[in-house]
Structure 1
């Protein structure tokens, strides 16, 4: 038992509880513990008993209490401390608990990688478990180019890793990838350069020898040479400029219409209407200028990131190298090239060719939403549900059929 008295422990618990949950006021009496909610103006609610606490409040109260009454020098093992506790306060809670018991060691078992990365100390990842053999764990090493959180996620994966463009939360592309590549661990890395860097970093790092990986990036107007280069380093390229454009490919649009009770001549008419709307958008000079500008900006940015000054030994060498490498970029020729590709796709009535280079994300998504009644938000929500459906997998199959097949190494 602790050397401090019960009242001292209770006062410590109350103080920590208030710092972790500043909108809750804990009060103790001889026969009850009550909580009062505080709003931003300082107004209070009717006090409620500890038995009426939310699961999160109970979890915080319980963990603080367990830590404070532990014997001196204890090893405190907490399994999934994130259960019922919001991520925004989880780190603050454990800062308080570790500070309150510097004499104790803490062993945390968690699925929350962001929380794990925020804690100081050695990190391990569970590679495998079986009742007969027990746990197989690995030390989480430092890997240059990757955060500790990402290294932990990679090492904890039992599938090959597929690095993709996009963000983790609320992303339509991540929903697509997870549905269409169930045999992979999908890790979004933001832009295409981060995807390429991640594949290269992981493939050359000895810490990941048992885990294979590949990458997947948007078409972004890449020519055959660029695609071949990327394929050689393990990065596949989408058939469209942005993944949302997949919804406008005829094979995918037909399934969307069929799933929304269109058939026969009515389906073909609707399909033709949406196709005509896409071409009309791409024939507006203002829209083409927007696409061409964006394409040229990305090409300039990519070129600047690839400039290598490591061999230069003087300021003069550096200036010459800079002028030579940047001078090789013909912006006018790049702009003319992408303009011609757009014009050729329209002239050839080739919608897939246009979608491979035309990247007006929001307007094209709005046109895709015409395939189904409702707003763009309602359409994207429906697509997300439809592609994950186990009862009717037609949309998933249609999209998977046009996606590339990554090669893990």
Structure 2
């Protein structure tokens, strides 16, 4: 069976061949039009569509789905033909339970009064109870006096479905509702991850899909984690919608695109160029600072520098697909100008400071912070600079050694990657490496260069090469800028706060930090 998707902006609508295809994921950012997309798809499918929404079923009790095969309409039909079913049930969840219990009671009556005492008919409720007890081992489901009841174990008291948690109600709703879907229908599920614990989502939906192998499931979500649980299949990325024209901008994303989760998330959520950064996305200074500096970018934290570099490369290799630019930012650490230039060509940018803490030590930032706190900017910067230059001079040889180690390591990696005809050639090559790389000459050259920074008072160059996590504390920058506590975290948090609420001085700080980069 082929499903024709809704009208597509600028080109013909796409089609999905559902032969052998059990599910499709419609994914898009909030406001992208994916719900409208699903509504139009359901309307085009007509009687073949069967809609499921846990939040509507559990909470929106006053609305009804008027589709011929919906649970609401099935309930209306059953009420008119059965005296056992209460006519005042509200909401899809309660009506679904009513329908199952009604079918169970009718099945029992038929079994009792028919002369046939063979095995009873296997009802919907039987199937749901079997699956429920797989999801919640040890829990029991029973029907008593026309009611469905639950218990945690054999010894505990039974309780009604209203006492279930939202997650339990959602599981029960999905397990029961899919049994009412017409044969070979298309089941559209809105926000299938809603109320469910992430650890149980994959197994639950696998079980539900296996219970209806005749149907195709279409999931509408913005949750990347859920989308990843569906494995192989078609993923439709809804980018945007024109409700006036009734058309959408959308495309297929498939496993062969080679997009990792972070890039994928940026693609579906981005309205602006993407900026990948280091850090954990919550506690790191990078994640707290860079979104306030680069406000015209969608900023996404990826962890380590290697992931930033690779994700930027992958994203930009797909530019013809998504028409967005991606950039990366990684710490300079001990990279030389050759490495920095290479990364820049890949649109990965390196600040003119050794590490992110040094950004807060930029001269314009210090002067701005002093001015905000009614201190003399010249005096404040002069004191901080004097402290930094003194620290760097004392640490000069160790810093030169660390830079030498980095360059030797990179040189070894580059040379060992060469091709060798045999093990002898490799051995000879390795034996010559120490002479070829000449680490002592590199070290002595760096020492001379670093001494020149000290002699010339070249503060900017020191910030570019000096890796020292305690620099903020040891320079007493917070004290010299007039903060009440001489504490590096107070200093950083004050700058973050100024930027986040755009207090006076925010633009000057933002300009100073942006000037250390050259983003497109």
TM over 0.5: yes
Aligned to 1:127: 239
Q: C-alpha deviations, 1:132-164, integer Å up to 9, x for none?
A: 2422222224568x5442453354334333333
Matched, 1:8 2:8: no
Aligned to 2:407: 299
The one of 464, 475, 485 equivalent to 1:356 is 464
Aligned to 1:243: 356
CA distance in 2, matches of 1:293, 1:212: 38
Q: Please give the TM-score of this superposition, normalised by the length of structure 1.
A: 0.75
Aligned to 1:164: 277
Aligned to 1:41: none
Structure 1's 123 and 326: CA in aligned 2 closer, same or farther, altered over 3 A?
farther
The one of 422, 428, 440 equivalent to 1:332 is 440
Q: Secondary structure at the match of 1:264?
A: coil
- Equivalent positions of 1:274-289 (< 5 A) are 274-285=384-395, 289=398
Structure 1's 175 and 312: CA in aligned 2 closer, same or farther, altered over 3 A?
same
Shift of 1:15: 1.8
Structure 1's 263 and 57: CA in aligned 2 closer, same or farther, altered over 3 A?
farther
Shift of 1:246: 0.9
Aligned to 1:185: 298
The one of 91, 106, 115 equivalent to 2:226 is 115
Matched, 1:74 2:185: yes
Structure 1 gaps, min length 5: 39-43
Q: Please give the TM-score of this superposition, normalised by the length of structure 2.
A: 0.61
CA distance in 1, matches of 2:151, 2:486: 45
Aligned to 2:506: 395
Q: Secondary structure at the match of 2:234?
A: coil
CA distance in 1, matches of 2:279, 2:222: 22
Matched, 1:315 2:423: yes
Structure 1's 341 and 49: CA in aligned 2 closer, same or farther, altered over 3 A?
farther
Structure 1's 6 and 312: CA in aligned 2 closer, same or farther, altered over 3 A?
same
Aligned to 1:104: 215
Structure 1's 61 and 354: CA in aligned 2 closer, same or farther, altered over 3 A?
farther
User: Could you say what the CA RMSD is over the residues aligned between the two structures, in angstroms?
Assistant: 4.1
Q: Secondary structure at the match of 1:125?
A: strand
Shift of 1:269: 6.0
Contact 1:234 1:406 in 2 (8 A): no
CA distance in 2, matches of 1:394, 1:300: 42
Q: Secondary structure at the match of 2:360?
A: helix
Contact 1:168 1:174 in 2 (8 A): yes
The one of 223, 231, 234 equivalent to 2:347 is 234
Contact 1:309 1:318 in 2 (8 A): no
CA distance in 2, matches of 1:10, 1:378: 57
Structure 1's 32 and 116: CA in aligned 2 closer, same or farther, altered over 3 A?
same
The one of 140, 150, 153 equivalent to 2:265 is 153
Q: Secondary structure at the match of 2:239?
A: strand
- The answer to which of 76-85 and 195-204 deviates more is 195-204
Q: Secondary structure at the match of 1:303?
A: helix
CA distance in 1, matches of 2:393, 2:259: 44
Contact 2:192 2:219 in 1 (8 A): yes
Contact 1:125 1:140 in 2 (8 A): yes
Structure 2 gaps, min length 5: 1-73, 75-99, 101-120
Shift of 1:241: 0.9
CA distance in 2, matches of 1:294, 1:27: 67
Structure 1's 66 and 227: CA in aligned 2 closer, same or farther, altered over 3 A?
same
Structure 1's 204 and 152: CA in aligned 2 closer, same or farther, altered over 3 A?
closer
Shift of 1:352: 2.9
The one of 168, 175, 181 equivalent to 2:288 is 175
Contact 2:238 2:251 in 1 (8 A): yes
CA distance in 2, matches of 1:376, 1:34: 56
CA distance in 1, matches of 2:212, 2:478: 56
Shift of 1:238: 0.4
Structure 1's 61 and 399: CA in aligned 2 closer, same or farther, altered over 3 A?
farther
Q: C-alpha deviations, 1:76-120, integer Å up to 9, x for none?
A: 222333334443443343344334444432222222223323321
Q: C-alpha deviations, 1:145-187, integer Å up to 9, x for none?
A: x544245335433433333333434322123222222322334
Aligned residues: 389
Structure 1's 299 and 53: CA in aligned 2 closer, same or farther, altered over 3 A?
farther
Contact 1:342 1:358 in 2 (8 A): no
